[in-house]
Amino acid sequence: MRYLLNPVATDTTPTPSVLRLARRLRRALPAGVSGLALLLAATAHAQAPGKHVHGQAELDIAIEESSIALMLVSPLDNILGFEHTPRTDAERKQADDAQKALAQGDRLFVIDEGAGCTTEKISVPTLYEDTHNHGHSGHAGMHADAELTVQYRCASGHNVKVIDTAALFDAFPRLQTLQVQLAGPGRQAGLTITRTQPRISVPR
């Protein structure tokens, strides 16, 4: 596992990547904890956003005492094995199966018991819209990336030590690496994890 740990930024001017993370989390989080996104924008200094690279995905993690939020953004190729509108029954089944796996997104991550977390909300956009034009070979109806947000309600979110992503890699064999951005009050880190080293050790 390769860690790229950074100290908490002393310059609190939000960077473009921090604002990107804040916007995503603001959309995903319930109203009661929406202030977390603003907190991240003011205190974190996350890595620059990644590129659309097959085999690689981004995972943003926001931690506070009462909640943990995870947002996965991945090229569709990692999730479906293709990036066009499904053309065959087999491809439509692949897309449906992937949609179901993402809809149970809390099964793709394991947060250590010390944080006392339970799933509160799972958000995943539809991967494709079936237009019944099965012969169409373009990208109409498809999203460029798959997105998944899992929101946990936690008794002691700050106590989280490990987030295991092994189930995510098992569910999507084409996924090889995760570029992780993690932020919360008094902590911030960027790291890369792989399917052979799928555990995220949360810095204190």
Integer angstrom CA distances of residue 5 from 1, 14, 92, 181: 12, 18, 41, 10
On the question of pLDDT at 178 being above 90, the answer is yes
On the question of pLDDT at 119 being above 80, the answer is yes
Rounded-to-integer distance, Cα 132 and Cα 130, Å = 5
On the question of pLDDT at 97 being above 50, the answer is yes
**Residues ≥6 apart with Cβ < 8 Å to 137:** 84, 85, 87
Asked if 32 and 154 touch (Cβ cutoff 8 Å), the reply is: no
* pLDDT bracket for residue 27 (50, 70, 90): low
More confident residue, 54 or 178: 178
On the question of pLDDT at 113 being above 90, the answer is yes
On the question of pLDDT at 134 being above 50, the answer is no
Q: What is the per-residue pLDDT across 141-166, written as a single tens digit (0 to 9) for each?
A: 445 789 999 999 999 999 999 999 99
Tokens of 141: 């109806």
* pLDDT bracket for residue 195 (50, 70, 90): very high
- Cα 40 to the chain's mean position, in Å? 16
On the question of pLDDT at 72 being above 90, the answer is yes
Residue 40 host element (H or E): helix 35-43
For residue 28, give the amino acid letter: A
The percentage of residues in the chain with a pLDDT greater than 90, rounded to a whole number, is: 53
* pLDDT bracket for residue 188 (50, 70, 90): confident
Highest mean pLDDT among 21-30, 49-58, 90-99: 90-99
Asked if 108 and 171 touch (Cβ cutoff 8 Å), the reply is: yes
